[in-house]
Structure 1
Amino acid sequence: MSLSASNSSSDKTVGGVNNPSVVITADWDGPDDPKNPKNFALWRKWVMVFTVSFSSLCVTCTSALYSSIYGQITAQFHISELVATVGLSLFIFGMGVGPMFVAPISEFYGRRPIYIASLALFTIWLIPCAAANNFGTLLAGRMLGGLTSAAFQSVAGGTIGDLFTRETLQLPMMIYTATPFAGPVLGPLIGGFINSFTSWRWSFYVIIIWSASLWVVMLLFMKETYAPVLLRKKALRLQAASDKSGTPVQPGALSMQKVFLRSMYRPFLLLLLEPMCLCLCLYTAVIIGTLYLFFGAFPLVFSNLYGFNLWQIGLTFLGQLVGTFLGVFLNPLWGWNLQRLVQKHSPDGKEIIPEYRLPPAILGAPLITIGLFWFGWSSTASVHWIMPIIGSVFFGLGVFLVFQGVITFLVDAYPLYAASALAANAFLRSSFAAAFPLFGIQMYEALGYQWATSLLAFLTVAMLPLPYIFYRFGPRIRAKSRFAAVNQPLL
């Protein structure tokens, strides 16, 4: 056991507690301490990985599954399809705003309470959605459900990092990273079958059963993994054992109010002052906006051109799902490429700089553009329906690769402010994902399927060079940054 005591008045203790006269700081009992999450049993680690991954899959699936109920709710509530789309947008916007509140709370109370509360509230807010007798109730449930689902977008990646060392992190992180892309694609697929044969309310009943089952698994098997919270609790126990006078103890570190304020303004500060962060976040925002716009475009294309019914339209999203899984299977290639770049450019053959994370995005960027043009110009009645689906495979693969490169780059480029960089990315891309579906159907009807998709493709053409520009010149740009880590330029 590591235990230190001093009469310092400083309150900046990570795993410690203080009182007016003594500060006690706790540490792990050596490298093999069984209470260290990195030393948990392997089976428990993987149960926790799959629990948070399936929870992420559940909430992202819920976001897009809603698009399959448009036909029934427009008839029942006497609303237009554009108004119905607001329910999709509100959920996604909630997912983007939520991390700004969830992340600072997790710093104080740990990850496990956040997961349990978040999944419970998410499940509760599905109930008014399923039982809604008016559209306002459905919208309120969707908005609150999106807000309470945020833990699995902002905290889950940290849990996996808590459990695994850098050498063993690749596979579990790859599995988790696939879920935000697989979930939205599974939504219309599952919803298409449900809403073809029964009431739209069963779309929510199925998710309630899914999320409630995950909540039980979470309650039984999820342990706290956030080291500062675990060490703080250990320090509190040590303080209680040593403080016979009953002097009150308080956790060190910043107050909750200060952490909340910091979590609210710093993401916007990065967007305003950091060109790399702004440009890459805008790029991912356009991509995710396009992905969610497709939930309205695919039904138009495949029902009007090919006469597909609802469950058949759901199956057309399998192209994007195949592209996502191809991206997952390519992950070992990028691990090998990372080691090659390190050995080639680093003086000691060990230093990893953020730009080494960008090659997947450099490859994925043109694949997105190719996929969009392919989908758009093959969407004609004279061309077989499989051709636009093949185009969506390239799009899905490109989206996964770009996100893999950009997200890991942001984490490495802003190591002290990684949470803020990811919150900025989540907010911007959720804003675009919420906005794009609101004009997607009108755009496709006004411009036609070919030119509407081409307009989206031209947007990606304008941003296509960004990953390479930051790969080539990133170190020089970071050298002038107030927030980013600094490394030597690439040769």
Structure 2
Amino acid sequence: MATTHSQDEAASFDDVEKASSHLSDPKPEADAPATDFIVSFTGDDDPRSPKSMSTARKWLITIIVSTTSLCVACTSSLYVGTYNQLEKEFHSSEVVVTLGLSLFVVGLGISPMLLAPLSEFYGRKPVYIGSLFFFVVFIIPSAVAQNLATIIVTRFLDGFAGAAFLSVAGGTVSDLFPKAKLAFPMMIYTLSPFLGPQLGPLVADFINYNTSWRWTFWVALIWAFVQWAAIILLVPETYMPVLLRREAIKTRKETGDDRWYAPIEKMDRSIAQTVLRSCYRPFLLLTLEPMCLCLCLYCSVLLGVLYLFFGAFGLVFRENHGFKLWQVGLTFLGITVGMILGSASNPFWNKNYMRLLKKHEEEHGEKGGSEPEYRLPPAIGGSPLVVIGLLWFGWTTYASVHWIVPIIGSAFFGAGVIMIFSGVFTFLVDAYPLYGASALAANSFARSMFAAAFPLFGPAMYNNLGYQWATFLLAMLTLVMAPFPYIFYRYGKEIRKRSKYAGSR
């Protein structure tokens, strides 16, 4: 659920990247043209550049932003462990209690469009500090709440605050590492927001089995506060346009020459214009671009099923196998292991991408030429795994079948989900080179809305249709959408030629 705006920042300040490779120490000359007064870095080894940091410090920063993303994502699903206690204490139905999960995810989907663009003006660190501060603050009312309405409202506000971090943090990782070394740290970061929702029930069910539901929020509060402190103390500003603006201000003071400037200071966009663009363009892509709409819809259904499982797993393993609450949390390890294994296949897909790239260059004589469709094979490979995993899980949810069997099936589902997301995300960025962030924001918004809706009807569907047929229905839904990655792999180039937003080569 993360990294939606880092690509847009890179596109917005492409002139900064171009300028950052040639300037030495500033020494103004009276007759120098205005372009000679652009402040920039001499290259990746410039001590002022974040890419010049030591490897140890880069990895420390990567670990901090990754674990903070894990914390925010985990907090979304920690709440599911409190359902039984909240229903009894506040005499509420399961659907009403589930609103606390759904509205948190709604906040995750809406916030990046409004708050993430602020990083283009103020940098990444102020967004981190501000959003995480309110993320910590809004956990407190949930922990001390005397009614369910307080929890539901503050859960929405908490998701809204935390999502700003998720949408920006991927950019920090890309700030630190050159492209040749970016794949592994970015894989670590990208995996954390998807592992978080699986970690939540595991932790929360253990807490709520042994103590009061309030400790679920106190634990989240402690973890979030530690991450906030680590961000303040150990994570520097890494956003190049903002760093260059600081250098320009410093240079003007030192030289007394006001002609020195950073590219960001010549921007002709206001904050309001940037936020407005961030809000409307994702919906234009969803409305006018069939590739973006279909792939976003596919990802949305997958994340919706994932969040639906938070309620379904409890029903299946408590009713069929007599699991205690803390044991139900452990059943999510199947999806977690599947996601890790799916991520581990990344080198194979990268090798396949390079093979397609080389073949394209040989056929067209383009050095460095490529097609966005070459990014889709992981999604093509993950699609059948999702269907197989759901069918496996669904038709083994009988009390007579050992509990490990459906958990193994869920691992196939988890592996397929992470592979599909990986392929779709990279495809959207490549297919919409000028609007990559908007395409990812559209995907994030659609996913969040589905993830918010599915848990509300999931338990009723499982109770009315039965565990097997309810899961079979979900499997058929994913089967209908499974051909999308392959269709766009085969015909995407032709579709892009008729698109006003997608890039065509």
TM-score (norm 2): 0.90
Superposed CA offset, 1:41-85 (max 9, x none): 111111111111101100111101101100001111111111000
SS in structure 2 at match of 1:35: coil
Q: Is residue 2:472 matched to residue 1:454? A: yes
Offset of residue 335 of structure 1? 1.5
Unpaired runs of 5+ residues, structure 1, are: 1-11
1:230-255, CA deviations, whole angstroms, 9 ceiling, x for partnerless residues?
11222233334455799999932111
1:338 is matched with which residue: 340, 353, 362? 353
Q: Sort the Cα spacing of 1:22 and 1:339 in 2 relative to 1 into closer, same or farther, 3 A.
A: closer
Distance in 2 (alpha carbons) for counterparts of 1:30 and 1:292: 44
Residue 425 of structure 1: aligned partner? 443
1:140 aligned onto 2:153? yes
- How far the C-alpha of 1:482 sits from its partner, in A, is 1.1
Tell me the equivalent position of 1:281: 296
TM-score, normalised relative to structure 1: 0.92
Are positions 1:376 and 2:375 aligned together?
A: no
Counterpart for residue 6 of structure 1: none
User: 1:5 — aligned with what?
Assistant: none
In structure 1, the residue matched to 2:25 is none
Partner of 2:330: 315
Q: Distance in 2 between matches of 1:365 and 1:130?
A: 40
Secondary structure in structure 2 of the residue aligned to 1:351: coil
Query: Partners of 1:372 and 1:144 in 2: how far apart?
Result: 33
Q: Which residue of 2 aligns with 1:365?
A: 383
Contact 1:91 1:146 in 2 (8 A): yes
Q: How does 1:295-314 map to 2 (within 5 A)?
A: 295-314=310-329
Cα distance between partner residues in 1 of 2:290 and 2:490: 15
Alpha-carbon deviation of 1:470? 0.9
Distance in 1 (CA, whole Å) between partners of 2:380 and 2:130 is 39
For 2:409, the equivalent position in structure 1 comes to 391
Separation of aligned partners in 1, 2:428 and 2:239: 21
1:79-128, Cα deviation, whole Å (9 max, x unpaired): 11110000000000100101001221010001111111111111111111
Q: Which moved more, 1:41-50 or 1:30-39?
A: 30-39
Partner of 1:129: 142
**Equivalent AA in structure 2 for residue 90 of structure 1:** L
Q: CA RMSD, aligned part only?
A: 2.2
> Would you say 1:483 and 2:501 are equivalent positions?
yes
What is the correspondence of 1:169-318 to structure 2 with a 5 Å cutoff? 169-242=182-255, 251-253=265-267, 254-318=269-333
- Describe how 1:403-418 pairs up with structure 2 within 5 A: 403-418=421-436
Equivalent pair of 1:13/1:25 in contact (CA under 8 Å): no
Equivalent residue letter for 1:297: A
Distance in 1 between residues matched to 2:218 and 2:311, nearest whole Å:
23
Query: In 2, distance between residues paired with 1:353 and 1:244?
Result: 46
Cα distance change of structure 1 residues 343 and 130 upon mapping to structure 2, 3 Å threshold: same
Deviates more, 1:381-390 or 1:276-285: 381-390
Q: Supply the distance in 2 between the matched residues of 1:355 and 1:245 (Cα, whole angstroms).
A: 47
* CA positional deviation for 1:404: 0.6
* Greater shift in the superposed pair: 365-374 or 236-245: 236-245
Q: Which residue, 297, 310, 324 being the options, matches 2:339? A: 324
Q: 2:490 aligns with which of 469, 472, 487?
A: 472
Quote how far apart the aligned CAs of 1:343 are: 1.0
CA distance in structure 2 between the partners assigned to 1:38 and 1:282 by the alignment: 37
2:321 aligned counterpart, secondary structure: coil
What secondary structure does 2:180 align onto? coil
What is the match of residue 94 of structure 2?
A: 81
Q: Deviations over 1:160-206 (max 9, x none)?
A: 11111111111001111111221100100011110000011111111
Give the letter for the 1:477 counterpart: I
Q: In the aligned structure 1, how far is the partner of 2:398 from the partner of 2:260?
A: 76
Kept after mapping to 1: 8 A contact 2:335/2:415: yes
Letter of the 1:378 partner, please give it: T
Deviation at 1:13, TM superposition (A): 7.8
**Comparing 236-245 with 324-333, which one deviates more in the overlay?**
236-245
* Structure 2: unaligned runs, 5 residues or longer: 1-13, 20-32
Matching residue within 39, 42, 56 for 2:52: 39
- TM-fit CA distance, 1:332: 1.1
**Residue identity in the other structure for 1:288:** L
Matches of 1:245 and 1:356 in 2, distance apart?
48
Partner of 1:92, secondary structure, is: helix
- Which of 97, 100, 114 is the matching residue for 1:101? 114
How far apart, CA to CA, are the structure 1 residues paired with 2:253 and 2:116? 28
Deviations, residues 401-450 of structure 1 (Å, cap 9, x unaligned): 00010011111111211111111111000000000001101111111111
Q: Structure 2: how far apart are the matches of 1:244 and 1:358? A: 51
Distance in 2 of aligned mates of 1:34 and 1:14? 17
Once residues 489 and 427 of structure 2 are traced to their aligned partners in structure 1, the CA distance between those partners, rounded to angstroms, is: 10
Residue in structure 1 matched with residue 481 of structure 2 by the alignment: 463
Give the Å deviation of 1:22: 7.2
